[in-house]
Amino acid sequence: MAHETLLQQMRQQAQGALSLNIAFIGVTQGIFEAFARLNKANLTELVKHVHLDQGYLRRWCDAAYAFGYLDQQNQQFFLTEQGDLMRPSHPQTLMPIAIQSVLSAHMAERAASLMSSGERPGESVLAERSTILPWFGSMIETSFAPLFQNVIVPGIPAFAEVDQHGGLAVDLGCGNGWYLRALAQRCNHLRCLGIDGFAENIKQARQHTQQVGLQDRVSFVTGDLLELELNEPADLMAMNRALHHVWEQGLDRLLPWMQHNLKPGGYVVIWEPAWPADPLVLRQPDYRNMAFQNLSEHVQGNHFLKPEEICDAFYSVGMPARTYLFQNGLECITVAQKPPVV
Ligand SMILES: C[S@@+](CC[C@H](N)C(=O)[O-])C[C@H]1O[C@@H](n2cnc3c(N)ncnc32)[C@H](O)[C@@H]1O
């Protein structure tokens, strides 16, 4: 490719990153939502509404105008269609892309600073940025809840089967609890318990669950999933994007724990990004994100898994497993079953 063409391409990419940085500020500081409430506002009106510093807001509005998130007329700013789509409450919100972009910059900086020592500080790096931390849950929920509700639950027979006789579903590493709320809404006979190591996640999980009135059937505890004591064996155990978090350090404890705490005939349902066996696949645009994220997982002491590795792990403890692929093979659900008593 000619140097000039490459230069143009790189400049465009750099502008894309800047645009998402501006969006990140607008999302996390509630400015997009404020504009939606105000419709139109000059700087003074905006300051009163969002309680942010006028100097910072002025510069942000100029930048948001430059990148097409705001329009202006007679000293008043208002949202463009693109700005409106950044509102976290918009049904088709693009918020996750903005959050992910700044999180990626943070993780790139951490990877660069740790590369010489090889240190892998763990998940605590995710909590280092106070503006990013509260958005994890809704970032994952917005990205995956529609796929789960509309495609995965109807596509995996284990859910309907377990719901038919009712029982307990446990979500290990539940984040903000979105998966259990979605499951409980579709499966009326299930009781649900979520566990997560981050207290912030459990706080959000309880709040959101109360808001949708599911607190009688869906509860949460903070703690290490490898230390969890269940009061009764589970009919279904789910792990969403959490198995790779315990794979390197805790798999030898997790698998026997699952077997011990599952009812005979009960299911484990694992959802993980499907790391491709063939590195050529990483060149595909969707897989590029996964490749970057796997570097950021490395900082946290994790790595993404190939579907066949997950299946093999369950077979090795006597739990037959099969995989289901979604989103053009990017997302993999592994369903393993504890053999029923005959
Ligand atoms: C990528 S997040 C996925 C969260 C959630 N399952 C979802 O789909 O939104 C992984 C989660 O696993 C949790 N986690 C990882 N290891 C854990 C452990 N040993 N005990 C409890 N939670 C853990 C983390 O706190 C984090 O919330």
Listed in order, strand segments (DSSP E) in the chain are 40-41, 70-73, 76-79, 167-172, 190-196, 218-222, 234-240, 262-273, 321-326, 331-337
Condensed to tens digits (0 to 9), the pLDDT of residues 35-86 reads 999 999 999 999 999 999 999 999 999 999 999 999 999 999 999 999 999 9
What per-residue confidence (pLDDT) applies to 217? Answer: 97
Amino acid at 248: E
Domains 3-90 and 133-337 share a fold: no
Please give the share of the chain, as a percent, with pLDDT higher than 90: 98
pLDDT at 307 over 80: yes
Condensed to tens digits (0 to 9), the pLDDT of residues 171-191 reads 999 999 999 999 999 999 999
Amino acid at 26: G
User: Using CA positions, which residue lies closest to atom 9 of ligand 1?
Assistant: 175
Q: What single DSSP character describes residue 309? A: H
What per-residue confidence (pLDDT) applies to 1? Answer: 76
Helical packing angle, 157-165 and 178-186, nearest 10°: 70
pLDDT at 207 over 90: yes
Please tell me if the CB atom of residue 242 comes closer than 6 angstroms to any atom of ligand 1.
Answer: yes
pLDDT at 8 over 90: yes
- The residue ranges of every structural domain in the chain are 3-90, 133-337
Q: Which atom of ligand 1 is nearest to the CA of 225?
A: 20
From residue 271, alpha-carbon distances to 24, 89, 91, 117, 314 in Å are: 27, 26, 24, 32, 14
- Domain 3-90: which topology? Arc Repressor Mutant, subunit A (1.10.10)
Distance 297 CA to ligand 1 centre (A): 12
Answer yes or no: are the C-beta atoms of 174 and 205 closer than 8 Å: yes
How many other CB atoms are found less than 10 A from the CB of residue 320?
Answer: 12
What per-residue confidence (pLDDT) applies to 195? Answer: 98
Distance 255 CA to ligand 1 centre (A): 16
What per-residue confidence (pLDDT) applies to 13? Answer: 95
What per-residue confidence (pLDDT) applies to 171? Answer: 98
pTM for this one?
A: 0.94
Report, in this order, helix, strand and coil percent for the chain, each rounded to 5.
Answer: 55, 20, 25
Q: What is the dotted CATH code of the domain comprising 133-337?
A: 3.40.50.150
In the predicted model, what is the mean pLDDT of the chain? 96
Pocket test for ligand 1, best of 196, 239, 272 (most atoms within 8 A of CB): 196
pLDDT band of residue 26 (cuts 50, 70, 90) is: very high
pLDDT at 264 over 80: yes
Adjacency order of strands within the sheet including 321-326: 218-222, 190-196, 167-172, 234-240, 262-273, 331-337, 321-326
pLDDT at 133 over 80: yes
What per-residue confidence (pLDDT) applies to 342? Answer: 78
pLDDT at 261 over 80: yes
Pocket test for ligand 1, best of 176, 239, 245 (most atoms within 8 A of CB): 245
Instruction: Say how far apart CA 219 and CA 229 lie, in whole Å.
Output: 15
Instruction: Say how far apart CA 277 and CA 308 lie, in whole Å.
Output: 9
pLDDT band of residue 88 (cuts 50, 70, 90) is: very high
Distance 172 CA to ligand 1 centre (A): 7
What per-residue confidence (pLDDT) applies to 341? Answer: 85
Instruction: Say how far apart CA 27 and CA 69 lie, in whole Å.
Output: 11
Q: Which atom of ligand 1 is nearest to the CA of 137?
A: 9
Please tell me if the CB atom of residue 198 comes closer than 6 angstroms to any atom of ligand 1.
Answer: yes
Amino acid at 271: W
